[in-house]
């Protein structure tokens, strides 16, 4: 299957990044968000990052302009009627995602593939909301999308070989390295990462070491680029809790129980970097320093 026109749904952190890399690889991209402000912010972010690439001499001014003009901000899902591939990157909520997939199923051409960037929800269930489950697949990009090389391709129970092959090629065309994963909770990356982060939080909860010493152990002892508690703050503690709950419920195995300290922090509104407080304190938000 020949993919030329891509539509991205959701212009947040991930959607804007996905639109960016698709346009940079030569695809024509329509970017949609149901919040005009989010769409504007997403487009501005892409422009800023492209300009940064020019400033760092990774791209010419002409390449930047050509890339940017391949992205069109659109204000209706109906623009999906022209797409070969639609990548959904809205909030992590099954009801919102299935509603969008049902609408897209009616709007998109019959040949079009519908992909979700979900980090934890079952692709099989999202696919079941459509009349084309064999053309529904997970395309899990990592954050920040322009930088991170990995794309997890998640095959739902009914995803066809043809759909998988097309998305594998697409990921490679975006200069990413795809891995193929069957549709089980957490896929591969979060199945391994989140229990490690949760265990780091237990280590703190049980008073075994300080935040700094837990992070230093993993950075210097395991050569991780950042410690697990710092990483949790960057991902967002609410997101970490949500994914642990998906693993716990999905496998019904107590080894995935979220640490009570993680729950307590989320209840307190300590969500990590985005809220200014998590395992560390981020004063930058308040001081403009």
Q: Which residues are catalytic?
A: 119, 140, 152, 190
Site residues for ligand NAD, 228-247, by CB under 6 A, read 235
d(CA 273, CA 266): 12
> Binding residues for ligand NAD, how many (CB under 6 A)?
24
98 near ligand NAD, rule: CB under 6 A: no
- Please tell me the distance from the alpha carbon of residue 232 to that of residue 43, in angstroms, as a whole number: 27
Instruction: State yes or no: residue 250 binds ligand NAD (CB under 6 A).
Output: no
Q: Which residue is nearest to ligand NAD (CB)?
A: 12
Beta-carbon contacts of residue 276 (< 8 Å; ≥ 6 apart): 282, 283, 285, 286
92 binds ligand NAD (CB under 6 A): yes
Q: How far is the CB of 219 from ligand NAD (least distance, A)?
A: 20
Among 1, 12, 59, 125, binds ligand NAD (CB under 6 A): 12
Q: Which residue stretch of 79-87, 117-125, 166-174, 197-205 sits at the interface with ligand NAD (rule: CB under 6 A)? A: 117-125
One residue of 14, 49, 83, 123 binding ligand NAD per CB under 6 A: 14
Of 39 and 203, the one with the shorter C-beta distance to ligand NAD is 39
Which residues, in sequence order, are CB contacts of 190 under 8 Å at separation 6+? 119, 120, 243, 247
Interacting residues with ligand NAD between 130 and 189 (CB under 6 A): 140-141, 143
| Cα→Cα distances 245→165, 218, 271, Å | 32, 24, 16
Rounded distance between C-alpha atoms, residue 177 and residue 158, angstroms: 23
- Residue 252 lies near ligand NAD (rule: CB under 6 A): no
Shortest spacing between CB 160 and ligand NAD, in angstroms: 23
Count of H-run helices and E-run strands, the chain: 12, 8
Residue 61 pairs in a beta bridge with none
The answer to whether the bond into 289 is cis (omega within 30° of 0) is no
Under the rule (CB under 6 A), what is the footprint of ligand NAD? Answer: 9-15, 33-35, 38, 89-92, 96, 100, 117-119, 140-141, 143, 235
């Amino acid at each position: 299957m020949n993919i030329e026109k891509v539509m991205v749904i959701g212009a947040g952190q991930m959607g804007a990044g996905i639109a960016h890399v698709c346009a940079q690889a030569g695809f024509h991209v329509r970017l949609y968000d149901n919040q005009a402000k989010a769409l504007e912010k997403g487009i501005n972010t892409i422009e800023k990052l492209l300009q940064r690439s020019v400033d760092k001499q990774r791209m010419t001014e002409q390449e930047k302009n050509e890339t940017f003009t391949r992205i069109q901000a659109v204000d209706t899902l109906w623009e999906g009627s022209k797409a070969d591939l639609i990548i959904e990157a809205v909030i992590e909520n099954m009801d919102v995602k299935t509603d969008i997939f049902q609408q897209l199923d009616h709007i998109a051409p019959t040949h079009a593939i519908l992909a979700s960037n979900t980090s934890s929800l079952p692709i099989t269930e999202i696919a079941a909301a459509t009349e084309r489950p064999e053309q529904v697949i997970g395309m899990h990009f990592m954050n920040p999308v322009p930088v991170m090389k990995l794309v997890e391709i998640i095959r739902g129970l009914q995803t066809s070989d043809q759909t998988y092959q097309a998305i594998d090629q697409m990921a490679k065309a975006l200069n990413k390295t795809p891995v193929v994963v069957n549709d089980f909770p957490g896929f591969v990356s979060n199945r391994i990462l989140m229990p490690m982060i949760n265990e780091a939080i237990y280590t703190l909860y049980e008073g075994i070491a300080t935040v700094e010493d837990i992070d230093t152990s993993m950075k210097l002892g395991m050569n991780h680029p950042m410690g697990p508690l710092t990483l949790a703050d960057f991902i967002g503690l609410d997101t970490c809790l949500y994914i642990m709950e998906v693993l716990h419920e999905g496998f019904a195995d107590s080894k995935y129980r979220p640490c009570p300290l993680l729950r307590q922090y989320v209840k307190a509104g300590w969500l990590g970097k985005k809220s200014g407080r998590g395992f560390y304190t981020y004063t930058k938000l308040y001081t403009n320093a």
